[in-house]
Amino acid sequence: MKLTLGFSPCPNDTFIFDALVNGGIACGDLQFEPVLEDVQTLNEWAESGKLDITKLSFPALFRNSGEYRLLTTGAALGKGVGPLLIAKSLVDLPSVEHCRVAIPGEQTTANFLLHHAFPKVGERVPMLFSEIEDAVLSGRVDLGVIIHENRFTYQQRGLHKVADLGEVWELHNGAAIPLGCIAIRRSLGEEVAKQVEAAIRQSQIESFQHYPAISPYVRQHAQAMDESVMRQHIELYVNEFTMDLGEEGKKAIDTFARIYTENLGAPAPRLWE
């Protein structure tokens, strides 16, 4: 069976799926066709069920939980992993709601965490996550919500942290931050879902056996990123929850889902069925 598999070109995702898509592990009768895209593109594609298996921001999973079911492996979830709100010069927190803020997509966890911390922000400008630093530096926007490797590089470009949106979440809710997950089409059935979960776990094990070496596949898609930044990225976002959500991870997702639905008046998602 050939399955389309969508994930981002960021080091944490390419690290997780390297062995899976490059013949490093046995996958039985399953074959995977990788599709690498920005997570907001993957979020948008989920609306039409374009891919069989896909990385999604949790708000996108909630919106499409009738079509896709959550896998218990491959997630980006933890403490101290949240997006940062940055600016060219320091901004008083009460002024944030009056600012023009770049976000890495409307359906991203980052956008919801901005809403959670600063619910009165009126002007949000969706753009590709990798363009946000430049937009702030050029003055096209006042502030930007940064994710992925930009967490490790923004200071080198003279930018300043206004708020750690993940830290705000953790202080308010006492739970880890669910950033992104891997989901599979419900129509593929329980048995295929279990096979895919097992393959993703084995792929992670294979990658960790060679770490801290950075594979050509990870380097290829990280482009000009320094290897030390790649390792920081992997070590932050690929953690014990990535191998298996466990009870703590599931509790964090339940907390996020509850607050998400309460804040936005959205229907409760199907998560554990």
Q: What is the pLDDT of residue 223?
A: 75
Q: Where in the chain is the domain with CATH 3.40.190.10?
A: 2-77+178-264, 84-173
Q: What is the pLDDT of residue 151?
A: 85
- Detail the residues annotated as belonging to a binding site: 55-57, 109-110
Per-residue pLDDT of the chain in tens (273 residues, 90 and over written 9): 999 999 999 999 999 999 999 999 999 999 999 999 999 999 999 999 999 999 999 999 999 999 999 999 999 999 989 999 999 998 888 899 999 999 999 999 999 999 999 999 989 999 998 899 999 999 999 999 999 888 888 999 999 999 999 999 999 999 999 999 999 999 999 999 999 999 999 999 999 999 999 999 999 999 768 899 999 999 999 999 999 999 999 999 999 999 999 988 888 999 998
Q: What is the pLDDT of residue 238?
A: 96
CA dihedral 46, 50, 55, 58 (to 10 degrees): 10
**Residues with a known catalytic role:** 148
Looking at residue 19, its amino acid is: A
CB atoms within 10 A of CB 268: 12
CATH number of 84-173: 3.40.190.10
Residue indicated by tokens 């490059």? 22
Looking at residue 165, its amino acid is: L
SS3 146: strand
- What class, spelled out in words, does domain 2-77+178-264 have in CATH? alpha beta
Contact indicator for 252, 77 with CB cutoff of 8 Å: yes
* DSSP-derived secondary structure for 147-193: -TTHHHHGGGGT-EEEEEHHHHHHHHH-S-EEEEEEEEEGGG-HHHH
